[in-house]
Amino acid sequence: MLPNMLPTMAPTTAPAVATPSPILCLDIGSGTQDVLLYFPDREIENCPKLVLPAPARVLAGKIREATAKGQAVHLYGHNMGGGFHSAMKAHLAAGLPFSTTRTAAFSLADDLDALAATGVAIREDCPEGAVALLAADYDPEFWGRALDTLGLPRPALVTACAQDHGFHPGRSNRRGRFVLWEKLLLEADGKPESLLYHDVPACFTRLADLKRCIGGGPVADTGAAAVLGGLFEPSIRRRMHEKGLTLVNIGNSHTVAFLLFQGRVWGVYEHHTGLVDAPRLWDQLGRFRAGILSFEEIFDDRGHGAMRLELPHEAAGFAETLVIGPRRAMLEGYGAEFPAPGGDMMLTGSFGLVEGLRLQGRLPRPL
């Protein structure tokens, strides 16, 4: 029997010279995980930062290695990002056994009967001779060793973000996910800090598992962390209070755009990055701001949707467009700006977790 729960990473004994305990902030994407060890008493430039392969990408590599060696694979652990799905399919196609515990199985599918029908065995014990691989967006033992090796203190708090489509039985996950943005606009007064969860909505099963893995710290969707990361930058906050801005995060998997004005989100657009090119995205963003891009157009195009409130005249049409994200070069030459919140664009989501804590009053803002 293999464990399904991981131990939380406890803080180390306080150093001889007392300093504020750091916060470990992780933005777990499909390509990379972007890491900030945030010290409240330091300039952001002096806080340690890392950009590492995403856990799902690392797991995919281990599965491919087992496939090449002709070994069976047994997955255990948690619901995590499913970026290793193609590696699992290739393993089965090679005629090799693949099994998973029930909890880890949700990384691959919401419908476990359908998953079993593909040839994946769902069992709690590891078959004899199989390679046991951990499924987890966050492994506290790994991070404990990594920080110790780097000579860095262990955190008092871990906070993280990951993309979660949510579990919506009987309805489209793409439609169900967009409820996240509808609630932000209609129920939370457009305040992005409401999307940094201390209590995770029941539908977000991946975020719930992530929260348990990190020891109970707050979690967020990567889209929410991106908009908060934009607000981390003082110059963007100042401009956003004077006039409306369109902030676009072009990620490896998803593209999300937000209409921002006076500390509020007034509209959200979300599509899959691989389904849009630059001319199409720029056209859709223009029609989104103008209120003539429908939810149905994006949803029927296999995206998530678009929604905006009645926009204030003072926002000046949200004409200025700021683009972040690892695929931001898509909009080069289209009159957009390319800011680097906190001085490092790849850490925008991690900075956003810090900004969310600040806006919730849980962290002071530097003078």
- pLDDT per position as a tens digit, 189-210: 999 999 999 999 988 999 999 9
Within this chain, do residues 228 and 353 fall inside the same structural domain, yes or no? yes
How confident is the model at residue 285, as a pLDDT?
A: 97
Within this chain, do residues 113 and 257 fall inside the same structural domain, yes or no? no
Within this chain, do residues 120 and 239 fall inside the same structural domain, yes or no? no
Q: Is the pLDDT reported for residue 4 higher than 60?
A: no
How confident is the model at residue 31, as a pLDDT?
A: 86
Within this chain, do residues 152 and 192 fall inside the same structural domain, yes or no? no
Q: What is the pLDDT of residues 56-94, one digit of tens each?
A: 999 999 999 999 999 999 999 999 987 899 999 999 999
Report if residue 37 sits inside a domain: yes
Contact 248, 285 (CB under 8 A): yes
Report if residue 77 sits inside a domain: yes
How confident is the model at residue 180, as a pLDDT?
A: 82
Report if residue 158 sits inside a domain: yes
Place of tokens 């001889």: 16
Largest CA distance in the chain: 67
Domain count of the fold of the chain:
2
Mean pLDDT across 143-147: 97
Residue from 21, 32, 60, 9 nearest 349 by CA: 32
How confident is the model at residue 264, as a pLDDT?
A: 94
Report if residue 365 sits inside a domain: no
Within this chain, do residues 36 and 152 fall inside the same structural domain, yes or no? yes
Percent of the chain whose pLDDT exceeds 70: 93
Within this chain, do residues 100 and 183 fall inside the same structural domain, yes or no? no
Could you tell me which residues come within 8 angstroms of residue 22 by beta carbon, excluding any fewer than 6 positions away? Answer: 37, 38, 39, 47, 152, 153, 155, 156
Within this chain, do residues 281 and 326 fall inside the same structural domain, yes or no? yes
Report if residue 329 sits inside a domain: yes
Within this chain, do residues 26 and 155 fall inside the same structural domain, yes or no? yes
Within this chain, do residues 308 and 318 fall inside the same structural domain, yes or no? yes
For residue 283, the Cα-to-chain-centroid distance in whole angstroms is 26
Report if residue 14 sits inside a domain: no
From residue 175, give the alpha-carbon distance in Å to each of 110, 167, 168, 180, 187. 15, 11, 9, 10, 18
pLDDT band at 171 (very low <50, low <70, confident <90, very high): low
Give 168 or 215, the one with higher predicted confidence: 215
The β-bridge relationship of strands 23-28 and 49-53 is unpaired
Report if residue 89 sits inside a domain: yes
Domain extent for 282:
173-196+221-359
Within this chain, do residues 158 and 128 fall inside the same structural domain, yes or no? yes
Q: How far apart are CA 297 and CA 287, in angstroms?
A: 11
Report if residue 12 sits inside a domain: no
Q: Is the pLDDT reported for residue 6 higher than 60?
A: no
The DSSP-derived string for 63-126 is HHHHHHHT--EEEEE-----TTHHHHHHHHHTT--EEE-HHHHTTT-S-HHHHHHTT-EE-SSP
Q: What is the pLDDT of residues 271-288, one digit of tens each?
A: 999 999 999 999 999 999
How confident is the model at residue 170, as a pLDDT?
A: 62
Within this chain, do residues 152 and 108 fall inside the same structural domain, yes or no? yes
Within this chain, do residues 225 and 215 fall inside the same structural domain, yes or no? no
